[in-house]
Structure 1
Amino acid sequence: MTTHGAGDSVSRRTVLAGAGGAGAAVVLGGAAAQPARADGVTKLPIPGKTELTVLLTGDAGTGEDGQWAVADAARTVCARQGVDLAIGLGDNIYENGPESDTDDEFRTKFERPNTGIDVPWLMVLGNHDTSGIIPGSGGRPSRGDHEVAYHRHSARWYMPDRYYSVTVPHGAAEPVAEFFALDTTPLSSYVLQTDPEYYWDGPFARRQRAWLDASLAASRARWKFVFAHHPLRNNGTHRNAGEYEGITCGDYLSGKHVKKLYEEVVVGRAEFLLSGHDHTLQILDTADGHRGTQQIVCGAAAKTKGRAPEPTNKAFWEAYDTLGFMLLTINAHQVVVDAYTVDPATAAPTHAYRHTRTDRLPAVHRAPAATR
């Protein structure tokens, strides 16, 4: 197992990146931006291909042995199978987020553990990335700006804004995939928000919702993936949105506004909702009650958590007491989800489950809410 010892000596393994040319684009607020140099760093290009493999991890950023074990296991699998993109589902920098966009924690908790997985990492913010005095509270959203700013300093880290979308490949009449990144922490923090910008009904929440609604309406992608830190459906101990931590009242801790956002804007319009937050691995069903939007929880990249006493969601596969990650293999015909568990002592990956989805949601290009 590769360990994180003193200094910067990290065993580097070859990764079959397979990233395409610079024809792909990051789409931010509806505007396309080509991969470019920033602060002397050349960004790794978003793949320009119609079949791709995406590494999925969440809640990784501890810098401790569990993160390194999962990263080593993922490196092994990606070197064998190839990888084109990676997605980080929040809680990227434990416990409270970085102090600045040059904080050394970016190196110790992202760059070094993921050495060799040299593809663009599409990142979103979690509650531990935006905290103040109370670790994990999510009560200081402005701290997330440091992670957005780090986009300029790293070849791999992709977070051009707190919410954004990426199409693969760019320029196609119907891209094979579009990924929509959200910041859900201002809607579900463990403490009341004190900055009016980030109130649950404040300017940020309104802008993000309007952008997501319009972007999903405009998308012609074959598969649509919305990804954010907080899940809609979840059999782990954090429970479902609207009843997080067993709380059903209040505007923040319960996550009722996350539930509202997902159910009113995402459900029935995106095939997949990808989330972390719960330190578990779950491939839930396509849920007739949620009009075919399938929830995947992948938050076991450094810690494990356990199962809710009375889980309420049907699942194809679940793992609650093991580290792990997933791979998504995407083409025009199907999305294959491969789940891997990881032995923390040896960093050995074990292929645990394969789920294949071929059914696409009906194309519904409705007018966004702001114009209806």
Structure 2
Amino acid sequence: MSGGQRVTGDSRIGRRGFLAGAATAAAGASLVGLSPADAVPVEAGVSKFAFPAERTVRVLVTGDAGTGTRSQWAVADAMREHHRRQPFSLALGLGDNIYESGPNSGDDVQFADKFESPNAGLDFPWLMVLGNHDTSSIFGGDGGWLLRGNNEVEYHAHSARWWMPSRYYSVRLPEENPVVEFFVLDINPLASYIPPLFDPYWTVDGQFMNEQRAWLDRAVAESPAKWKIACTHQPYLNNGPHGDAGRYEGLAIEPLNGIHAKRFFEDHVVGKCHFILSGHDHSLQVLEPTSESKGTRQIISGAAAKTVGAEPKLTPGGTHPALFENYHQLGYMVMELTASTADLRVVTVDLANGGADEAFARRLA
């Protein structure tokens, strides 16, 4: 596999082995979670876009894009124009990659309609995160069919852009003496609206999450990168309608309120990573670090195809201090990282005329 990806263990699962494992899981036997130890290799004939070797890393940060609609295309057009003027090194796709319910296989035509075609010309690696709409069962976004996410992992073998060699993984840039390491996490088992109560593999303290916790603790502790960035779909802190972890959707009912996601963030991410980059909420938010976040800054970029609306119904208690918030415009973010600085820009996109405006620019560190 090409540079930057951090994996451990035996990576020789292959497409045939993956499909066999998925079929076994569907029959009710042991599930295939696809941790970094089971990373999917690239198929022969597929040439992945290379990771950058430069020590200035310009990252396109986008989320909740995969609709295939005019809105997604308008934002992608703006990103293409931005890339022409100031080339991106890579992109982060912060989940809900295939609306409304996720792909039905690793070669589903939805990958072309909702990812490849809209992003034509954005020819660099896209680090992809699994979202609740990518793992749907009964209704779109319920997160109740966790195994469905493996279809997006399988697609890693087929695409030059799409980078998801396993359900969670990390990438260092550059590989030697890295400026940044991205830790792409899958917290859907902790945040789904239909909790995995009947399958021990996916439960809060099941094999998948315990292995992910152990991997993340070790990977963050061992990382030599200047910037350590956690990439999730569901946020830890959020002023928008989906709410904070532990108060998702304004609910008091455990575990539907994401209490286990809150504990995961607090035990394994905050105070250890510099930033949490998330989607889920269809908004653009740059929150301030707080004592609650132990200095870790939460950033939300989930407006690549949908918005909350002109008069957002914000979740009670969503009052975290923010440098920037926008709930009614489409848009994306650009993070530029060097060995000593972290700069962020927020770009909003007007669906009516396709115009793009820089709405926020700040050196965060």
Q: Shorter-chain TM-score: what band?
A: 0.7 to 0.9
Contact 1:284–1:295 at 8 Å: present in 2 too? yes
Supply the AA of the counterpart residue of 1:72.
Answer: D
Contact 2:277–2:298 at 8 Å: present in 1 too? yes
Contact 1:226–1:266 at 8 Å: present in 2 too? yes
Matched residue SS, 2:68 = coil
**Alpha-carbon spacing, 1:243–1:354, altered in 2? closer, same or farther (3 Å):** same
Deviations 1:15-43 (A, max 9, x none): xxxxxxx9832112489999985241011
Aligned to 1:26: 5
Deviations 1:264-307 (A, max 9, x none): 11111110000000000000002233221000000000000135
Task: Tell me how large the CA RMSD over aligned residues is.
Answer: 1.9
TM-aligned CA deviation for residue 101 of structure 1: 0.4
Matched residue SS, 1:152 = coil
Contact 2:59–2:335 at 8 Å: present in 1 too? yes
Residue identity over aligned pairs, in percent, reads 48
Contact 2:2–2:48 at 8 Å: present in 1 too? no
- Matches of 1:31 and 1:284 in 2, distance apart? 39
**Alpha-carbon spacing, 1:30–1:235, altered in 2? closer, same or farther (3 Å):** farther
1:330 matched to 2:300: no
Aligned to 1:126: 131
1:304 to 301, 304, 307: 307
- Matches of 1:166 and 1:31 in 2, distance apart? 18
Aligned to 1:233: 237
Matched residue SS, 1:325 = strand
Aligned to 2:326: 319
TM-aligned CA deviation for residue 49 of structure 1: 1.7
Matched residue SS, 2:340 = coil
1:146 to 151, 161, 178: 151
**Alpha-carbon spacing, 1:223–1:307, altered in 2? closer, same or farther (3 Å):** farther
What does 1:145-164 correspond to in 2, within 5 Å?
Answer: 145-164=150-169
Supply the AA of the counterpart residue of 2:204.
Answer: W
Contact 2:40–2:157 at 8 Å: present in 1 too? no
Supply the AA of the counterpart residue of 2:357.
Answer: T
- Matches of 1:196 and 1:355 in 2, distance apart? 45
- Matches of 2:40 and 2:251 in 1, distance apart? 43
Aligned to 1:279: 282
**Alpha-carbon spacing, 1:81–1:277, altered in 2? closer, same or farther (3 Å):** same
Contact 1:139–1:191 at 8 Å: present in 2 too? yes
Matched residue SS, 2:292 = helix
Matched residue SS, 1:55 = strand
Deviations 1:191-249 (A, max 9, x none): 12143211122111111111111111111100011001000000000010001011133
TM-aligned CA deviation for residue 356 of structure 1: 0.9
Specify every segment of 5 or more residues in structure 1 that has no aligned partner in the other structure, as ranges. 1-21, 359-372
- Matches of 1:309 and 1:259 in 2, distance apart? 16
What does 1:1-372 correspond to in 2, within 5 Å?
Answer: 24-29=3-8, 38-172=43-177, 175-193=178-196, 194-251=198-255, 253-305=256-308, 306-310=312-316, 311-358=318-365
Supply the AA of the counterpart residue of 1:68.
Answer: W
Contact 1:24–1:47 at 8 Å: present in 2 too? no
Matched residue SS, 1:38 = coil
TM-aligned CA deviation for residue 171 of structure 1: 2.0
Range that drifts further, 104-113 or 77-86? 77-86
Matched residue SS, 1:289 = coil
Contact 1:35–1:44 at 8 Å: present in 2 too? no
TM-aligned CA deviation for residue 114 of structure 1: 0.3
Contact 2:41–2:157 at 8 Å: present in 1 too? no
- Matches of 2:2 and 2:226 in 1, distance apart? 18
Matched residue SS, 2:276 = strand
Supply the AA of the counterpart residue of 1:336.
Answer: D
TM-score by length of 1: 0.86
- Matches of 1:333 and 1:180 in 2, distance apart? 20
**Alpha-carbon spacing, 1:31–1:165, altered in 2? closer, same or farther (3 Å):** farther
- Matches of 1:239 and 1:223 in 2, distance apart? 26
Contact 2:246–2:257 at 8 Å: present in 1 too? yes
Contact 2:235–2:277 at 8 Å: present in 1 too? yes
Aligned length: 334
Supply the AA of the counterpart residue of 2:131.
Answer: G
**Alpha-carbon spacing, 1:230–1:240, altered in 2? closer, same or farther (3 Å):** same
